[in-house]
Structure 1
Amino acid sequence: MYKMYCGGALLALLMASCSTGSKTNDSLNSPDNNLTVDFGVNAKQQAWYLVKRNSQVVIDTSSLGLVRKDADFSKALKVADISESEKVEDTYTMLTGKAKDITYSANQKTLHLENAGGQKMDIVFNVSNDGVAFKYKFPETSGDVKYITDEKTAYNFKSSTKAWLQPMSKAKSGWEGCNPAYEEYYQMDVPVNATSPIGEGWIYPALFKDGDTWVSVSETELGSNYCATHLKYDEAEKAMKVVFPQPEEVFAKGAALNPESKLPWETPWRILAIGDLQTVAQSTLGTDLADKAVTTDVAFVQPGISSWSWAILKDDSVNYDTTKQFIDYAHQMKWPYCLIDAGWDWRIGIDKIKELVAYAKERNVKLILWYNSAGDWNTVKYTPKDRFLTEESREKEFKWLHDMGIAGVKIDFFGGDGQSMIAYYHDILKSALKHKILVNFHGATLPRGWQRTYPNLMTAEAIKGFEFISFEQNVADAAPQHCAMLPFGRNLYDPMDFTPMSLDVIPNINRRSTAAFELALPTLFLSGVQHLAEIPEGMAKQPDYVVNYLKDIPAAWDETKLLAGYPGKDVVMARRKGTTWYITGINGENKAKTLDIDLSFIKKDGFIITDGATDKWESKTVKPGKTTASFKPYGGFVMKF
């Protein structure tokens, strides 16, 4: 027996397909039966799916299918078989992110299809309590390479749906032609059919709301044999559609842009976290369905805080004496890392870098070095560059870094989402992992679960972060709202190197957020290495209780709870490390407010640091239980229990 949904404008089509007596449609429920995906092939011989929450349509009837250069799997399809439902479970440990020990449980069915030529394609559906995921598979074997020219996947939201979307940038636009780098502002609470201001659609994760149901759309398990995708509203289908990168987004001229591979072949998972806002914010689908870790040799992977001179002091701070000061700063703050930014190869030099490595080691601090990803996809002149473009040069550089005692690299200025560029990311991560080097990608794409596959991937920028605030006043003006969006968007699944926290002054910028707002960001934002912007001079001006708090904040978490919030307006997040809870709150709006929060899950007293009524800071004891959190305009707080 199977359950089938026949409703809306497709009633006649579905009845026609059902009347043949063959099984062309089916349904799959989540373990708690709150989510349902209906799927099949309609009377027009096209694959479709539909998603419901509590029997209410969330994603209306939407297209599925792929088009290969040699075969079309978007039409003239027939159902060869639909598998029985089976339970899939996975338990895994994350070294970074919102939770440590994670269990994924879902029900799964596979729709086995054949096209007009008898060629096979499967669509695998997983439904968990927090969402729906599906992927395409070509199960046959080929000796030749196949090419996908189009993906028909669509998300047909109701016209009443509102959306929170970050525009995809125009390739080779921006400073030195560095785009796309996932560094645009979110369009918030806009119609689902809103036009992207840049014209290139929207990146993941994309957030939607209709009634009391929230949906976050993204992708994960992106391997070397597929390009990264994004979304674009299709006026003909009246739905969001998966689209491929722009032609310029390749590793080199003639390199792979769209997907190409021999068979058998699987696409990345298309993932939809679905539920109330708390369910979506706490979802781990982005790593649940990522490829498993390629190694268990991970003792060298140590999350933590890093000092960093460039954020406030810029290029001239990349010198020997200033770096020694920031090593001392990290040591005094009990932070494990210090980042040396662009130009270290000539501003400091190899011999002096070796001295700094030894100096840092004496103080229990490890160094991270900046690199230019190079290639001809941009015109950036910063060095060192050209070190990772070939396997031979990657291996040589990572071995040298490991032998010298360098802990990690920050690699900047990538060039897009084409398959060849995605393969470059994988090549770097594999080689760095082999030599036990931590990796931070900047000017980069969304990681899409790579931090599970490669535990040495600590973070990635892919956001309009602090450096932009330090450049332009209009960015600083928009920062509080932007920050209040990120836990529900960009930072939902993947680590984000926003490089937060200015407690004192930003040269030539009037910071809009309060100091307590800034103090909240390192525990609100998820990043395996959290590079903090504040410099020693600014830290020296803060009260002891603020400094001591910052000496003991984790960069990886055992558990996360959303306590209150609304995208772009405010957020209160609880994160646990061991037996200690950190409660973080920020107000993204220019008005005072209070939010009700429930701290009943906490069993002992703690303290709060917040904006003072008359002074800059205020600290006092706080008790567990139901309470009210008060915010100044653009204000914030941290609690620790």
Structure 2
Amino acid sequence: MIKQIPAVLALAVHSAFAAPLQSPDRHISVELRITPQKTLEYAIQRDGQPVILPSRLGLQLAGADLANKLKLTASSAVKPIAEDYELATGKKRRISYRANEQVYTVRNAKGQAMDVAFRVSNDGVALRYLVRAPGRLRFLSEATSYRFDKAAKAWLQPMSVAQTGWMNTNPSYEEHYQREIAVGTRAPTAAGWVFPALFKTGDTWVALTEANMDGSWHASRLLADSTGGEYRLGTPMAPEVFTGGALLAESSGQLTSPWRVIALGSLAAVSESTLGTDLAAPAIAFDKAKVVPGHASWSWALLKDDATVFEVQKTFIDYAADMRWDYTLVDADWDRKIGYDKMRELAAYAASKGIGLLAWYNSSGAWNKTEYSPKGKLLTHAQRAAEFDRLAKMGVKGVKIDFFAGDGQSMIAYYTAILQDAADAGLLVNFHGATLPRGWARTYPNLMSAEAVRGLEYTTFTQEDQDAVVRHAAMLPFARNLFDPMDFTPMVFGDIPKIHRATRNGFELAESVLFLSGIQHFAETPEGMAGVPAYVKSFLQTLPRSWDEVRFVAGYPGRHAVIARKSGEAWYLAGINADDTDLKLDLDLGFLAGREGQLITDGAGEREFMQAAFGGGRQQLTIKAHGGFVAVFK
């Protein structure tokens, strides 16, 4: 290892190397160097073992090549980072982020400068770029890469091609993951792979994503070609913009990239990591009294378009009240099938039952062919301010906004503008047909959830998607739902029209704990809920709306997951088995030693439950094929 170079000397010696930057616990280290080819590289080790092999850094801007012919001219003193924040929609409520930060300055042959900031915490590494220069700074490309050993494996979701799919609504992060593939496998489409991207190299798991998207930068993805196990950052496709807006990052005087996040460690460490929000910007001002996570009834999941009428929605409000839930979501075309005046009446009726009403909106202008309405009412600040004010005065508590165009800079700016304008009106937000939130739940406390997943609705369309859902669901806690809230819209106990359900009821019930969403929209109808045992209904009536702590217990991406979540003094344990055979687990529940709980799991039939006592400590448990369980320790 290279000895530490004092910052005052680093300015003078123009060394090709920077001293390693280590995590507070000294298990993770990052080394930076200028190669003989005068490019900038970094490498990451964990306990002395390579995790990220030497990989590229740098930017190409219009008129400034900051990826080639570089020299390292300065490094700052190591700065301890300490941030404490609260999160209403994540795996933990109170979060303490501790890291060591160092900023390195490089210059190209023209003397143009770029700062590269690194932060190393006990659960990973983050880096970002900062360029300051007079005039307009226009992004062209990024050299950032992540190179893995050839023996590493990957769990990756393909990015869909822009302007494909139903009514040209892609991309919306709604593909199935390719599981445990060889690194270097080419993506099936030219669009590449989405974040989060999961890898295993040696005994270390790695999750790649990005955070701190403020609307000034486009969202990135991994390029399709990863020859040699080197994954490079790519940009959105040309159509992924707000009409007439910019595709790539551009600003005056200063250009700051999002944080490139590399969570790493054991599977437990990565599963419990909060890096995706740790690196996001602190929260904007929003009335804490209105940050109300909860559970919602929702007719569209199983009943589709015809159910968006006044009487059915009133029934679903009654259903939510009976379940002691918090919200009812009224979906697409409510403005035509119910109307604003009757929605005001519905909101008042819901309020009388202690239920908040949520209203669907179509985000789109000209970027797809969707016709669902309300459409075209949120395209400008003036329109949003007027519409959101109208909703707030009607008593509506939040909006679900659908059908975005992708990841271009102007579209990311559209997302953040919606979140800010909704916050100003006191409204909660759920994005659908949307990008990955990338930490927005911290910055915008009114963001309750986002889809960005091939959710339950797909399993109601085709048997093929239904059959695939067990493996897909077992991926989500380790990838899509790792850092950001996810509106999968889980849980069906009864029948799905024209579909044979692939999951047992215990699997469906476990999703209510495993999947994290600020507002969890449950797909089951009043009729389906009427068929479950009283103890299952009671479990769902008293299920916490948010969580204080998380414990990874057992799992393997795409096969099974067992996770414990704490609310107050109660622990909720949940697990699913995606395999086609029963799974016998030896669970270490030492953190629950001496406590007695109640287990709800699958009975003999696919649609049956059973209940039993269940203790802490070392426990053996069998989860049926495509089954699951929950256990409550109060």
* Residue of structure 2 equivalent to 1:443: 433
Structure 1, residues 489-529: CA drift from partner, whole Å, max 9, x if none? 10000000000000111111101110010001011000000
Instruction: Give the secondary-structure state (helix, strand or coil) at the position aligned to 2:604.
Output: coil
Structure 1, residues 287-332: CA drift from partner, whole Å, max 9, x if none? 0010000115221010000000010100000001101100000000
In the TM superposition, what are the counterparts of 1:180-259 in structure 2 within 5 Å?
A: 180-234=171-225, 238-253=229-244, 255-259=245-249
The yes-or-no answer on 1:145 pairing with 2:136 is: yes
Instruction: Give the secondary-structure state (helix, strand or coil) at the position aligned to 1:548.
Output: helix
* Residue of structure 1 equivalent to 2:540: 550
In the TM superposition, what are the counterparts of 1:445-594 in structure 2 within 5 Å?
A: 445-594=435-584
Structure 1, residues 199-241: CA drift from partner, whole Å, max 9, x if none? 3210000000022110000000011110000002545675100
* Residue of structure 2 equivalent to 1:14: none
Task: Tell me the CA shift for residue 4 of structure 1.
Answer: 8.3
Task: Tell me the CA shift for residue 24 of structure 1.
Answer: 3.3
Find the aligned partners of 2:488 and 2:443 in 1 and give their Cα distance: 22
Find the aligned partners of 1:131 and 1:566 in 2 and give their Cα distance: 20
Task: Tell me the CA shift for residue 593 of structure 1.
Answer: 1.0
The yes-or-no answer on 1:136 pairing with 2:129 is: yes
Instruction: Give the secondary-structure state (helix, strand or coil) at the position aligned to 1:537.
Output: helix
* Residue of structure 2 equivalent to 1:381: 371
Q: Which amino acid aligns with 1:442?
A: H
* Residue of structure 2 equivalent to 1:91: 84
Contact 1:60 1:157 in 2 (8 A): yes
Find the aligned partners of 2:278 and 2:164 in 1 and give their Cα distance: 34
The yes-or-no answer on 1:44 pairing with 2:37 is: yes
Find the aligned partners of 2:545 and 2:502 in 1 and give their Cα distance: 25
Task: Tell me the CA shift for residue 2 of structure 1.
Answer: 4.7
Contact 1:480 1:634 in 2 (8 A): yes
Task: Tell me the CA shift for residue 566 of structure 1.
Answer: 0.1
Contact 1:225 1:423 in 2 (8 A): yes
1:607 paired residue among 588, 598, 611: 598
Find the aligned partners of 1:296 and 1:3 in 2 and give their Cα distance: 47
* Residue of structure 2 equivalent to 1:112: 105
Find the aligned partners of 2:14 and 2:387 in 1 and give their Cα distance: 63
Question: What is the TM-score of this pair, normalised by structure 2?
Answer: 0.97
Find the aligned partners of 1:170 and 1:115 in 2 and give their Cα distance: 35
Task: Tell me the CA shift for residue 67 of structure 1.
Answer: 0.4
The yes-or-no answer on 1:25 pairing with 2:15 is: no
* Residue of structure 1 equivalent to 2:70: 77
Find the aligned partners of 2:510 and 2:155 in 1 and give their Cα distance: 23
In the TM superposition, what are the counterparts of 1:274-423 in structure 2 within 5 Å?
A: 274-423=264-413
Structure 1, residues 40-66: CA drift from partner, whole Å, max 9, x if none? 212222111000011011111100000
* Residue of structure 2 equivalent to 1:12: none
Q: Name the % identity.
A: 47
Contact 1:257 1:419 in 2 (8 A): yes
Q: Which amino acid aligns with 2:629?
A: F
Instruction: Give the secondary-structure state (helix, strand or coil) at the position aligned to 2:100.
Output: strand
The yes-or-no answer on 1:172 pairing with 2:183 is: no
Find the aligned partners of 1:293 and 1:65 in 2 and give their Cα distance: 29
Find the aligned partners of 1:252 and 1:559 in 2 and give their Cα distance: 42
Find the aligned partners of 1:238 and 1:536 in 2 and give their Cα distance: 50
Structure 1, residues 73-109: CA drift from partner, whole Å, max 9, x if none? 0011112211122211111111111000000111111
Instruction: Give the secondary-structure state (helix, strand or coil) at the position aligned to 1:521.
Output: helix
Contact 1:4 1:38 in 2 (8 A): no
Find the aligned partners of 2:542 and 2:515 in 1 and give their Cα distance: 16
Instruction: Give the secondary-structure state (helix, strand or coil) at the position aligned to 1:214.
Output: strand
Contact 1:407 1:437 in 2 (8 A): yes
2:621 paired residue among 625, 629, 636: 629
Contact 2:186 2:225 in 1 (8 A): no
* Runs of 4+ off more than 6 Å: none
* Residue of structure 1 equivalent to 2:154: 163
* Residue of structure 1 equivalent to 2:252: 262
Structure 1, residues 434-453: CA drift from partner, whole Å, max 9, x if none? 01100000000000000100
Contact 1:523 1:555 in 2 (8 A): no
Contact 2:125 2:263 in 1 (8 A): yes
Find the aligned partners of 1:591 and 1:248 in 2 and give their Cα distance: 44
**Greater CA drift, 123-132 or 605-614:** 605-614
Instruction: Give the secondary-structure state (helix, strand or coil) at the position aligned to 2:423.
Output: helix
Find the aligned partners of 1:234 and 1:317 in 2 and give their Cα distance: 45
Task: Tell me the CA shift for residue 119 of structure 1.
Answer: 1.6
Structure 1, residues 384-417: CA drift from partner, whole Å, max 9, x if none? 0111100110000011111111000000000000
Task: Tell me the CA shift for residue 426 of structure 1.
Answer: 0.5
Contact 2:137 2:255 in 1 (8 A): no
Find the aligned partners of 1:448 and 1:589 in 2 and give their Cα distance: 30
* Residue of structure 2 equivalent to 1:61: 54
Instruction: Give the secondary-structure state (helix, strand or coil) at the position aligned to 2:591.
Output: coil
Contact 1:40 1:111 in 2 (8 A): no
Question: What is the TM-score of this pair, normalised by structure 1?
Answer: 0.96
Find the aligned partners of 1:44 and 1:623 in 2 and give their Cα distance: 61
Task: Tell me the CA shift for residue 601 of structure 1.
Answer: 1.1
Find the aligned partners of 1:309 and 1:513 in 2 and give their Cα distance: 21
Instruction: Give the secondary-structure state (helix, strand or coil) at the position aligned to 1:576.
Output: strand
Q: Which amino acid aligns with 1:363?
A: K
Instruction: Give the secondary-structure state (helix, strand or coil) at the position aligned to 1:471.
Output: coil
Contact 1:233 1:239 in 2 (8 A): no
Q: Which runs of 5+ in 2 are unaligned?
A: none
